[in-house]
């Protein structure tokens, strides 16, 4: 399904007056503080957040799954769904594929389809966390870290194959999330498991085309219940520095133990030039994969505060980040949830862009703890939604993406086209 541009223009016209007044009020306030509203709108318009192919269907837990219907049953339909999101918000201009779930039949057709929606291919992802039908060796006891060289070889070959698919699609990075770990004390020799993983990753790294990056994702728990081979940013940083200049750490917000200071992790990784990618989601307990900003919007803002500081003070040449949502939608329409997540990200980014950094540094240098906190909280409590909406309108996206999605009854139309029972691949 493709959205006709006219529908967006009519929707924007209908909301024009209300939006205009709110935007003017905010512009006056921000201009009064010496900020360039035009620059912020430009920065917001440029932000593109990739959508993972596995987030377009209904997610579930090991207890059950309740699909809502109209899910994309093929790679083509997944691309169409991301195209829909992108036409509503103009900020979802890339799709991230997971192999073997998303192997194209015809690469050129898939590339043409994606570009007809204005989409690029973001990082490709390997999967050695599940056994595939017909696979010779099992990953039950690990993949890149496995004690048996035959299993490692198979897992390395899979990652190389993922790179091959990515090259044919015009992707320029691979994300490796290693599910390898142990579930019981004594099961792993930690040092050997890590060194074997490093060896395997090096072989994959050697295979990367020159212009490619490798992102090493970390996670402290699950599926390993006792230990994970790459549990934290320190281990990921160690691996990426050992691998070489094109390897980077990837932060997934759900992959931290409770109360981890993620904004500090971001600051340190960017300071060392080793932050490559970002997976957004939110969580109450663990890797809950909830809508971005649903639980801890202040933390999200503090993270963006560091990201923006890192982008503006980039002595260590940290590359531009690969932004992606990595969430699952158990009880919501996945497309609505993704629209909400993108909006939350843009709000946090907009807020970070209006932080008066010089003043903040003065407060810090003067040990004025109270005013430093006041400054950040004043920004966080500023309703920047009119700025985000203005940037959207200027990009020919919808003033209210979720509102328009509902108004046009898009899910109902998708169910009409694809049926009630289609199931997208994913977790
Ligand atoms: C693992 O929890 C993860 O965050 C990794 O990014 C995977 O590739 C993705 O979720 C989907 O399984
Ligand atoms: Mn992730």
Judge whether 9 lies within some domain. no
Tell me how far apart the terminal alpha carbons of the chain are, to the nearest angstrom. Answer: 24
CA of 31 to the centre of ligand 2 (A): 38
Amino acid 71: pLDDT = 95
Distance (angstroms) between ligand 1 centre and the Cα of 189 equals 25
Question: What spacing in Å lies between the alpha carbon of 164 and ligand 1's midpoint?
Answer: 20
Q: Is residue 32 part of a domain?
A: no
User: Is any ligand 1 atom within 6 A of the Cβ of residue 102?
Assistant: no
**How much is the pLDDT for 423?**
77
The answer to whether the CB of 427 is under 6 A from ligand 1 is yes
Ligand 2 centroid distance, CA of 153 (Å): 24
239 is a domain residue: yes
Q: Is residue 373 part of a domain?
A: no
Mutate to test the pocket of ligand 1, among 123, 143, 177 (most ligand atoms within 8 A of CB): 177
Q: Which ligand is nearest to the CA of 176?
A: 1
For ligand 1, the distance from its centroid to the CA atom of residue 345, given in whole angstroms, is 19
Indicate whether 222 belongs to any domain: yes
Q: Which of 217, 222, 287 to mutate to test the pocket of ligand 1 (most atoms within 8 A of CB)?
A: 217
Q: What residue owns the CA closest to ligand 1's atom 10? A: 326
Q: In this structure, which residue's CA is closest to atom 3 in ligand 1?
A: 177
> What's the pLDDT at 309?
98
Q: What is the pLDDT of residue 329?
A: 92
Query: Which residue lies with its CA nearest to atom 1 of ligand 1?
Result: 177
Domain CATH code at residue 87 = 3.20.20.150
Ligand 1 center–CA 229 separation, angstroms: 15
Smallest CA separation from ligand 1 atom 12, residue: 427
> Which pLDDT value is given to residue 419?
94
Averages of pLDDT over each 10 residues, the chain, 427 residues: 94 95 96 95 98 94 91 96 98 98 97 98 98 97 98 98 98 98 98 98 98 98 97 98 98 97 98 97 95 98 98 97 96 97 98 97 98 98 98 98 98 95 76
Residue 293 forms part of a structural domain: yes
pLDDT at 370: 98
pLDDT of residue 226: 98
Indicate the number of domains in the chain: 1
Which residue's CA is the closest to the ligand 1 atom numbered 6? 177
Residue 345 lies in a domain: yes
Query: What atom of ligand 1 comes closest to residue 179's alpha carbon?
Result: 1
217 lines ligand 1 (CB under 6 A): yes
The CA 177 to ligand 1 mean position distance, Å, reads 6
**Where in the sequence is the domain holding 147, given as residue range(s)?**
47-354+396-418
Q: Does residue 10 form part of some domain?
A: no
Residue 424: per-residue pLDDT: 78
């Amino acid at each position: 399904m493709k959205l006709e541009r006219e529908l967006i223009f009519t929707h924007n016209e209908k909301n024009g007056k209300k939006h205009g007044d709110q935007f003017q009020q905010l512009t006056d306030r921000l201009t009064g503080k010496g900020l360039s509203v035009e620059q912020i709108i430009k920065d917001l318009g440029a932000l593109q957040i990739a959508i993972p192919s596995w987030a377009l269907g209904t997610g579930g837990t090991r207890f059950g799954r309740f699909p809502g219907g109209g899910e994309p049953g093929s790679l083509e339909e997944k691309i169409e769904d991301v195209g829909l999101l992108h036409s509503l918000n103009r900020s979802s201009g890339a799709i991230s594929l997971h192999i073997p779930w998303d192997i194209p039949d015809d690469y050129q057709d898939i590339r043409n389809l994606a570009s007809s929606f204005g989409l690029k291919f973001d990082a490709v992802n390997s999967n050695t966390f599940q056994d595939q039908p017909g696979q010779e060796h099992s990953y039950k006891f690990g993949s890149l870290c496995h004690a048996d060289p035959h299993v490692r070889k198979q897992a390395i070959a899979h990652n190389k194959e993922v790179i091959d698919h990515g090259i044919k699609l015009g992707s320029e990075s691979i994300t490796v999330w290693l599910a390898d770990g142990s579930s019981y004390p004594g099961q792993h020799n930690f040092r050997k498991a890590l060194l074997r993983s490093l060896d395997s990753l090096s072989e994959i790294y050697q295979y990367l085309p020159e212009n490619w990056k490798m992102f090493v994702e970390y996670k402290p728990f699950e599926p390993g219940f006792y230990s994970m081979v790459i549990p934290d940013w320190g281990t990921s940083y160690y691996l990426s520095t050992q691998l070489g200049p094109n390897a980077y750490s990837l932060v997934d917000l759900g992959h931290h133990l409770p109360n981890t200071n993620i904004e500090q992790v971001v600051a340190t990784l960017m300071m060392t030039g080793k932050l490559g990618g970002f997976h957004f989601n939110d969580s109450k307990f663990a890797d809950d994969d909830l809508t971005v900003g649903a639980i801890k919007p202040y933390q999200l803002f503090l993270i963006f505060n560091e990201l923006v500081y890192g982008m503006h003070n980039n002595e260590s040449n940290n590359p531009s980040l690969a932004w992606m949502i990595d969430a699952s939608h158990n009880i919501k329409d996945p497309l609505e949830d993704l629209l909400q997540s993108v909006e939350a990200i843009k709000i946090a980014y907009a807020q970070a862009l209006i932080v008066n950094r010089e003043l903040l540094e003065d407060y810090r240098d003067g040990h004025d703890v109270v005013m430093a906190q006041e400054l950040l909280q004043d920004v966080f409590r500023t309703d920047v939604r009119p700025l985000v909406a203005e940037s959207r309108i200027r990009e020919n996206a919808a003033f209210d993406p979720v509102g328009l999605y509902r108004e046009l009854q898009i899910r109902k139309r998708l169910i009409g086209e694809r049926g009630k029972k289609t199931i997208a691949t994913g977790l």
